[in-house]
Chains A and B, each alone.
Chain A
Amino acid sequence: MKPEEIQKIAEIEHDMRMAYKYRIKVCCSSGCIPFGAQKLLKAFEDAVKELGLQNVCKVARTGCVGTCSVAPVVLIDPGNHLYQNVKPEDAKRIVQEHVVNGRILEEFVYKNEAYFSKQYRLVLRNAGKIDPLRIEDYISVGGYSALAKALTQMTPEQVIYEVTVSGLRGRGGAGFPTGQKWNFVAKSTAKPKYVVANLDEGDPGVFANRTLAEADPHAIIEGMTIAAYAVGAEKGYIYIRSEYPLAIQTLKKAIEQAKSYGLIGDNILGSTFNFDIELRLGAGAFVAGEETAILSSIEGLRATPRPRPPYPAVSGLWGKPTLINNVETLANVPLIILNGGAWFSKIGTPKCTGTKCFSLTGKVRNPGLIEVPMGITLKEVVYEIGGGVPEGRKFKAVLVGGPSGGCLPESMLSLPIDYESLTQAGAIMGSGGIVVIDDESCIVDTARFFIDFCMDESCGKCVPCRAGLPKVREILDKIMVGEGTEEDLKVLEELSYLIKDASLCGLGQTAPNPVLTTLNYFKKEYLSHILDGKCPAGKCNIKRMEVVKK
């Protein structure tokens, strides 16, 4: 395939699309499928056929629009009307009214303007727009033109320059400047080099990467291929959680399509650049998402992290230079190449450019998947997009950054979301989980829940994390049944600092964050367990937890 052909496919696709007056798009992502999205798709197809509207109305699948709490959802173009909680039996009526009578069925319409107005969809630009299973759809919205531009008009150095200028930083959590990382790998002289796309999103309550893979797999592939061109790699791996069957299927299909179009493989777009992508499945290990553990896992070993240095950029997969990027980071790349790094650097804040996807869950009115510009405040996210805590309950805390994130109180809600501010507050960006908890939840119990998670997911290699986290949990358990002492709080804090400072990898180094932030912002609640024998949320002291005494 030649670069010009991409343009041609895009035009043909556009014409085909325009041939239909109405386009009905059914969300077929993991959020909607369990609630009958497949049946719904079929029902709409049947309804259109039954009413004889095949030439007027096109029914297609699409990716997640983010309003997962009202699943399944259907979008009707033109006008981008979002219908919520649609059942297969409603399909015919909706087609009849909307398409034939031109009347919008108000009872189904999603009426939460604020949910979308505060968002900025960059990474998820195509979610809800295209059919993720068709590469032609992706091409029709400008897909792979960035790859063509990079290969035909830019040198690898220029690509890296644009990414550096854009200010893009790693979306996997640590926020390392992407351009710098690419530069390290590009400078390494050893061959071959590898690119690894990290899709091992293991945080409980986070599903941003999965949504991206299900809604727009080609954005990942294109970003990866551009990255490979920039650093001089010929082989790439997408490492994905095995718990994401739909995302795996979607990506598999996308890789096949890209191969058959010659967009990956040998002599891509007629150039001398070769790049091949292989999908690798995880098997349920959160720690495998860590930068060096992912390498062990791809090599078929236990996913234990390795000490750095040597850094993966120098010695990664099989001791060769390896670029590891989160898929969300990679999905930004085509836009940066097309519009220029300077354009991208204007989005968000000067130090933290671009957007970030968050899974907003817990006790909010509108949970779902959102994408917001960096620098937005937590308040805007929780209250304006999320709609605040449901009636009758009181906001207590917001957990930012997944299981090893921080637990922030109401007074911190004006905090802007960027790497530095969050880290300073004791939280992390993490992979993008925001969980709101209300006054029904106990802070100690919440901290224990996260410690529990990290303890289960600890690989066991280094002592502070392996042996320290069970002790932290033991103390929290003790406090929860009212047997804690103030001395325990001191030990708890000291242990937390040890684990934070002396652990080998990011999992251990961030695992105590929930404890440290709750000790910092909610010490009163701990003390009320210890001194008054009372749980302010009324959750503890019911002795349902087995206290580890042995």
Chain B
Amino acid sequence: MTKNIYSNRLPVVQQLREANELSEYPKTVSDKRIILIDKTIAAYGYRRDALLEKLHVAQNIYGYLEKKILLHISEKLKIPPSQVYGVATFYNYFKLKKPGSHAITFCLGTACYVKGAEEILSAVEREFNVKRGETSADGKISIFVTRCVGACAMAPNVIIDDEMIGKATKETVLDKIRSLL
């Protein structure tokens, strides 16, 4: 007797879906911004190799890479979803979670580290109760860590919402963040 493996799995899938542990299938994205991604895909002639470029575009549009976007790209380019996911999670630049409204990026490159960036970072973590790589509970700030922004001569550097603070100190950074909240 042959069994339909797919139908047999349905009850489990159903349970998981009810427990809200699954992203929705089938994969329709009813969002106008998706057209922009489609255009890029078409511009590259549906070439699979330019996957990184498409993920860049998607992240620029949405701010982060939701699973449904990854799935959309996977469908359009005919790349297995696991491969898209593997690529998206390999590179630090791609974010799969929604970031907070203010991004605070600490450079932990050699020069900044030697000049005490770690101390500033710890102070910020303590004061605002957010760990590096995470977003605060109220969704207001996210702390990111990067390895060198390339302004080593001005170390330590902290980037707060696209504004670079060079030769940063605990006080300047904390004051700046406080003023944002």
Contacts and interface: CB of A to CB of B under 8 A. Distances in A.
A544 B148 contact: no
A302 to B, nearest CB: 4
A298 interface: yes
Given A30-B151, A243-B146, A300-B51, A284 B91 contact: yes
Contacts, number: 138
Interface string B104-120: 00001111111100000
B148 A71 contact: no
B48 interface: yes
A298 B52 CA distance: 8
Nearest to A71: B154
Contacts of B50: 280, 300
A404 B163 CA distance: 30
Given A285-B90, A285-B92, A300-B48, A242 B152 contact: no
A204 B114 contact: no
Chain B: number of interface residues, binned into ranges: 35 or more
B155 interface: yes
Contacts of A361: 110-111, 114, 152-153, 155
Give the interface centre of A202, A204, A285 by most chain B CB atoms within 10 Å: A204
Interface stretch (A128-136, A205-213, A308-316, A491-499): A205-213
Contacts of B152: 68, 205-207, 359, 361, 367
Contacts of B55: 283
A297 interface: yes
A336 to B, nearest CB: 28
Interface in A423-462: 433, 435, 437, 441, 446, 449-450, 453, 456-457, 459
Interface in B121-155: 122, 146-155
A449 B110 contact: yes
A29 to B, nearest CB: 9
A202 B147 contact: yes
Interface string A285-309: 1100000000001111111000000
A206 B114 CA distance: 14
18 contacts: A30-B150, A31-B153, A31-B154, A34-B164, A67-B153, A71-B153, A203-B148, A206-B152, A207-B150, A282-B91, A282-B93, A283-B91, A286-B147, A300-B48, A301-B83, A367-B111, A367-B152, A367-B155
Which 9 pairs of residues, A with B, have the shortest CB-CB distance? Answer: A204-B109, A34-B164, A284-B92, A300-B51, A283-B91, A68-B153, A205-B110, A284-B93, A207-B150
